[in-house]
Structure 1
Amino acid sequence: MRQTIDNLRIAGRAMRYSQFVPRLYNYCLSLGFRRDRMMPSRAFCSDESQGYPVILLAQHFGIFPFDHGRVGGKVAVNRHGPHAHHGEDLVIIQASHVGYDAESRRFGVYRRHRTNGCGFGDNCGKIAAVLHWYKQEYRHAAEHVRCGLLDGEAAVIVDNLLLDEARPEGLSLKLDQLIEQPDEPLRAMSTAKAFRPAPSLVTRLGADIWRQPPAALGARLTADLFVFRRAPAQDIEHYDQIERALGPAMPTLVTSDNPALDAARFHTQVEFDRTYRSILRETAFRDKNVLFVAGLNIDVSPREGLPFPLTKFVPWAAYASLRDGRRILLEQDEFAAVLRRQPADNPDRLSFDQAIRDMSAVDEVSFDATLG
């Protein structure tokens, strides 16, 4: 799983949104899309930090983008049909997101300037909320599996809760990789039992730990030594789809140095694959040009005096289905290279100030005659 997450690489691939969006627009033109027929759509989280990317999409494509997103950056694939009814050349941009504080170099946080104290909050808050229960379970296990010398013998001491196989949910240890004989404890204690360590664990941890008094396993409780059991949580729209999507990666995420970043990276990969397959089945996209792109939005907390984050986009993959029969699938480096070959200038870019002045100057429309 670690290798899967790391397939979405960031170094050398992130680009400012002010460069990504015009490049995306110019790539659409290169595919034969027409400006007066293009309908962009975004599948972003509802967080206010995603507003700046939406503004740039409206500016460069000349129209406010359709909304394809649910909280956490989940793609609402049941909106493909309505999206198709709004244009002929369709563009879908999916991006999970993660905050970043440049001063502390922390991922997963974002300064909330509209709150008392202007402190940092979780970003993406939805992904952070999903991770919370799993991180608590992991912390308990890491503190309550102890290894060391007990009564002159090498021992693994395991909290009784972690030995209860009847629990409906929680962190479940892979006991065969930790202890030698689960049915023959060395010693029963008030809240735990001690066992002889599995030979593989003795080798893994090294000789020194078995000469010291028992100490918590801590970060040495790695992702390959446990799994999670969890009944599917429910939200207002039935099962929590973000939690279900992240489920297979949870052991890797809770042991990561950057869990929010890795969760967003993994979710982007899952969403591209899921949405790509939904596009293949969508009848409303027949006889349309469709470009679907996915990546990661990194929300760099705005500096003092700036209204918006310094958001960067990390491309992951792109798929195009074109009216002329062409099908194009671009992997990360191919997608990034295609974007960088496009001009970062867009002469068709909309001027919001001029558009607002023009709209303010047109004749008033009255509904009085219609209503009587």
Structure 2
Amino acid sequence: MQQRMIENLKVGPYAMRYSQFVPRLYNLCRSLGFKRDRMLPSRAFCSDESQGYPVILIAQHFGTFPFDHGRVGGKVSVNRHGPYAAHGEDLVIIQASHVGYDADSGRFGVYRRERTESCGFGSNCGKLAAVLHWYHDEYQRARELIRFGKLDGEAVVYLDNQYLDDRRTEGLFPKLDQLVGEADDPLKALATSKAYLASQRLRACLPADRWQDEPQALGAQLTAELFSFRRQLSQDPEEHDILEMELFPAMPALVTSANPALDAARFVTQVEFDRCYRSILREPAYTGKNLLLISGVNIDVSPRAGFPFPLIKFVPWAAYASLRDGRKFLLEQAELNEQLRDQSPDNPDRLSFDDSIRRMADAEEIRLEV
């Protein structure tokens, strides 16, 4: 179920350069009646430096630095709605989880760290990677320890003894009813595992010629629907467990994914849009304001030689508008994408940073009489 939910957020057909996304978003806001001198954007991004380029573009096109609505991993700090609403009249919240991408290798989840000595690749988003790490290791271990083969001519599954101990407080827990046949008793007890008749499901998944007398690792056949996780999460607000609790239901789908970092970013974006949308419905501070919430995934394409910033693409997921004139509406991915692409990628109101900084530098100095 979780994998189907993740895959609902499609990437390839909807990704657009940030240099085109932000002016299109600005023009979409203007088409909804937002006024240039009353608009205040807000971003809910991760704190990685790769997210700086989107912030620069938002400031350039909206004419003001965006409010900070985000936490590491792309979570939205919904307790900042009140202060944010007090800072502007026409409000635009942009939420995006992010994932790195190396165009040369086609890998998701990595990003070149050009400020390090080796200029090598690192995890991106590092926060999501850190959360996934323990679960990935548990899964890789189970792929090797859960084995299958033939015993006295019968198709059997060998389960390591740890996976038969339901008293464990954490770890990977195989779904025995999906792996083991109707007989509950083991056919044979070995030193560290027990052999059970294999389930009909497992026998149907593996061709007959794969069942050999010599047991072999189940490997990739240990699919997401065959196990769950259990873990006691810390409640320390400084730890990453707030994000971990959000990702927890999707962990079997994520650790078995071909692109776990991408799917984690997609999942967080979907959950965060829903959570932020519901918090907005309960927030009185937005009454009488124009508000647009838009969520998506930032794909951080590692910069090649000669480029100072990543070539980030934005993949829109959904949007919600609550307007001063009483209109309220939701936009699903395809409709949101269409509305954005209908807007011009040119913004005549775009700010010139060089001119603005020069004017500020040349302005008469203001002395502090303290």
TM-score range, shorter chain: over 0.9
In structure 1, give the amino acid aligned to 2:219.
G
Matched, 1:48 2:49: yes
State the alpha-carbon separation in 2 of the partners of residues 213 and 273 from structure 1: 49
Which residue in the other structure is 2:226 paired with? Answer: 225
State the alpha-carbon separation in 1 of the partners of residues 366 and 201 from structure 2: 79
In structure 2, give the amino acid aligned to 1:318.
A
User: How many angstroms does 1:212 deviate by?
Assistant: 4.5
The TM-score normalised by the length of structure 1 is 0.97
Taking the TM superposition and a 5 Å limit, the aligned residue runs for 1:203-282 are: 203-237=204-238, 240-282=241-283
Which residue in the other structure is 1:75 paired with? Answer: 76
In structure 1, give the amino acid aligned to 2:96.
A
In structure 2, give the amino acid aligned to 1:117.
S
User: How many angstroms does 1:116 deviate by?
Assistant: 1.5
Structure 1 residues 237 and 282: CA distance shift in structure 2, 3 A: farther
Which residue in the other structure is 2:14 paired with? Answer: 13
State the alpha-carbon separation in 2 of the partners of residues 8 and 153 from structure 1: 43
Which residue in the other structure is 2:308 paired with? Answer: 307
Which residue in the other structure is 1:345 paired with? Answer: 346
Taking the TM superposition and a 5 Å limit, the aligned residue runs for 1:90-109 are: 90-109=91-110
User: How many angstroms does 1:239 deviate by?
Assistant: 7.2
> Secondary structure at the residue paired with 1:211?
coil
State the alpha-carbon separation in 2 of the partners of residues 239 and 215 from structure 1: 36
Q: Is the 8 A contact 1:91 1:292 kept in 2?
A: yes
Q: Is the 8 A contact 2:143 2:218 kept in 1?
A: yes
* Structure 2 gap ranges (5+): none
Which residue in the other structure is 1:85 paired with? Answer: 86
> Secondary structure at the residue paired with 1:298?
strand
Which residue in the other structure is 2:124 paired with? Answer: 123
State the alpha-carbon separation in 2 of the partners of residues 233 and 107 from structure 1: 29
> Secondary structure at the residue paired with 2:211?
helix
> Secondary structure at the residue paired with 1:116?
coil
Matched, 1:200 2:201: yes
In structure 2, give the amino acid aligned to 1:223.
A
Q: Is the 8 A contact 1:179 1:196 kept in 2?
A: yes
Which residue in the other structure is 2:284 paired with? Answer: 283
State the alpha-carbon separation in 1 of the partners of residues 239 and 281 from structure 2: 25
> Secondary structure at the residue paired with 1:140?
helix
State the alpha-carbon separation in 2 of the partners of residues 200 and 315 from structure 1: 38
Matched, 1:148 2:136: no
In structure 1, give the amino acid aligned to 2:13.
G
Which residue in the other structure is 1:57 paired with? Answer: 58
Where does structure 1 differ by over 3 angstroms across 4 or more consecutive aligned residues? 233-239
Q: Deviations over 1:123-163 (max 9, x none)?
A: 00000000001001101111000001234432211111111
> Secondary structure at the residue paired with 2:118?
helix
Q: Is the 8 A contact 2:174 2:228 kept in 1?
A: yes
User: How many angstroms does 1:190 deviate by?
Assistant: 1.2
State the alpha-carbon separation in 2 of the partners of residues 239 and 138 from structure 1: 20
User: How many angstroms does 1:11 deviate by?
Assistant: 1.8
> Secondary structure at the residue paired with 1:287?
coil
In structure 2, give the amino acid aligned to 1:47.
D
The TM-score normalised by the length of structure 2 is 0.98
In structure 2, give the amino acid aligned to 1:291.
L
Taking the TM superposition and a 5 Å limit, the aligned residue runs for 1:27-38 are: 27-38=28-39
Q: Is the 8 A contact 2:9 2:333 kept in 1?
A: yes
Q: Alignment RMSD, CA only?
A: 1.2
State the alpha-carbon separation in 2 of the partners of residues 213 and 153 from structure 1: 12
Q: Is the 8 A contact 2:127 2:240 kept in 1?
A: no
Taking the TM superposition and a 5 Å limit, the aligned residue runs for 1:289-328 are: 289-328=290-329
Q: Is the 8 A contact 1:108 1:123 kept in 2?
A: yes
User: How many angstroms does 1:210 deviate by?
Assistant: 2.0
* Structure 1 gap ranges (5+): none
In structure 1, give the amino acid aligned to 2:68.
D
Per mean C-alpha deviation after superposition, the further-off stretch among 152-161 and 31-40 is: 152-161
Q: Percent identity at matched positions?
A: 67
User: How many angstroms does 1:204 deviate by?
Assistant: 2.0
State the alpha-carbon separation in 2 of the partners of residues 35 and 248 from structure 1: 41
State the alpha-carbon separation in 2 of the partners of residues 74 and 203 from structure 1: 41
In structure 2, give the amino acid aligned to 1:242.
L
State the alpha-carbon separation in 1 of the partners of residues 205 and 51 from structure 2: 44
State the alpha-carbon separation in 2 of the partners of residues 146 and 56 from structure 1: 52
In structure 1, give the amino acid aligned to 2:211.
W
State the alpha-carbon separation in 1 of the partners of residues 278 and 59 from structure 2: 27
State the alpha-carbon separation in 2 of the partners of residues 212 and 17 from structure 1: 56
User: How many angstroms does 1:245 deviate by?
Assistant: 1.0
State the alpha-carbon separation in 2 of the partners of residues 260 and 322 from structure 1: 35
Which residue in the other structure is 1:186 paired with? Answer: 187
Per mean C-alpha deviation after superposition, the further-off stretch among 255-264 and 235-244 is: 235-244
State the alpha-carbon separation in 2 of the partners of residues 353 and 182 from structure 1: 76
**Count of residue pairs the alignment pairs up:** 369
User: How many angstroms does 1:187 deviate by?
Assistant: 1.2
Q: Is the 8 A contact 1:291 1:318 kept in 2?
A: yes
In structure 1, give the amino acid aligned to 2:17.
R
State the alpha-carbon separation in 2 of the partners of residues 233 and 199 from structure 1: 39
Q: Is the 8 A contact 1:150 1:214 kept in 2?
A: no
